């Protein structure tokens, strides 16, 4: 597929799927972190010490952005399905992009 044939809706759908995959990869790691809390405070503290590393902190920022992207593009899908936004897709995508950036900057 040539770059000239890629439409905004395709990019939005691709981002929605990729952010969903990122969240699916993150979820078991999150459950692992919660499970260490069951082993006591020292086990949890040693696990959380990993989160103080710059690489992990940047990954945490990425997962927050992935959550914001997945949420807003999911709302876009719902809006397209339940409302007549097909003609206004560009405006809807712009609103979603603004929401993604806003939510990402808040966190």
**Phi, psi (deg, nearest 5) at residue 27:** -60, -45
Q: What is the largest CA-CA distance in the chain?
A: 56
Q: For residue 96, what are its two tokens?
A: 């979603």
Q: Are 104 and 43 in contact (CB under 8 A)?
A: no
CA-CA distance, 70 to 15, in Å (whole number)? 8
Q: What is the pLDDT of residues 4-56, one digit of tens each?
A: 557 777 888 899 999 999 999 999 988 988 888 888 888 888 888 888 899 98
Overall pTM surpassing 0.85 (yes/no): no
CA-CA distance, 17 to 39, in Å (whole number)? 35
The more confidently predicted of residues 92 and 78 is: 78
CA-CA distance, 71 to 96, in Å (whole number)? 9
């Amino acid at each position: 597929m040539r770059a000239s044939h890629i439409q905004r809706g395709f990019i939005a759908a691709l981002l929605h799927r990729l952010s969903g995959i990122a969240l699916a990869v993150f979820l078991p790691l999150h459950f692992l972190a919660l499970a260490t809390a069951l082993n006591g405070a020292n086990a949890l503290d040693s696990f959380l010490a990993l989160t103080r590393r710059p690489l992990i902190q940047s990954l945490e920022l990425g997962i927050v952005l992935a959550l914001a992207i997945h949420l807003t593009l999911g709302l876009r899908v719902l809006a397209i399905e339940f409302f007549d936004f097909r003609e206004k897709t560009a405006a809807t995508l712009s609103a979603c992009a603004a929401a993604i950036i806003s939510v990402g900057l808040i966190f």
